[in-house]
Amino acid sequence: MGDLLLIIPTEDIGIKDSLSYEEIPVRILDRQVLKLRTKEVAPVKVFWRNQFVEEATWEAEEDMKKRYPHLFEPGEIPDQGTNSLINTL
């Protein structure tokens, strides 16, 4: 026996029929440039909705720019790294 007031419709939280949901990036926390032998790779640390800051992931900057260009608007990438976001939270 459950409390009907505690039931949340799945449409409100975005759960699909396959019981999955899409993670949405909230902000770019940090950026690095890794120098390999023949090229440079630029990963960005992404803070995702419904995740803790400690669970942020490193993703390829090029891929993130294609999928989520709004995250790379001027002033969105911090110069001081992750600590600047943690201090604001």
Average pLDDT over residues 21-25: 83
Report d(CA 41, CA 47) in Å as an integer: 19
So where are the chain's domains? 17-88
| Residue 1 or residue 81, greater confidence | 1
Architecture in CATH for domain 17-88: Beta Barrel (2.40)
User: Which element (helix H / strand E) includes 83?
Assistant: helix 82-88
Quick check: 28 and 77 in contact, CB under 8 A? yes
Average pLDDT over residues 62-84: 72
pTM above 0.85, yes or no: no
According to DSSP, residue 81 is labeled -
Q: Is the pLDDT of residue 67 over 50?
A: yes
pLDDT, the chain, mean:
78
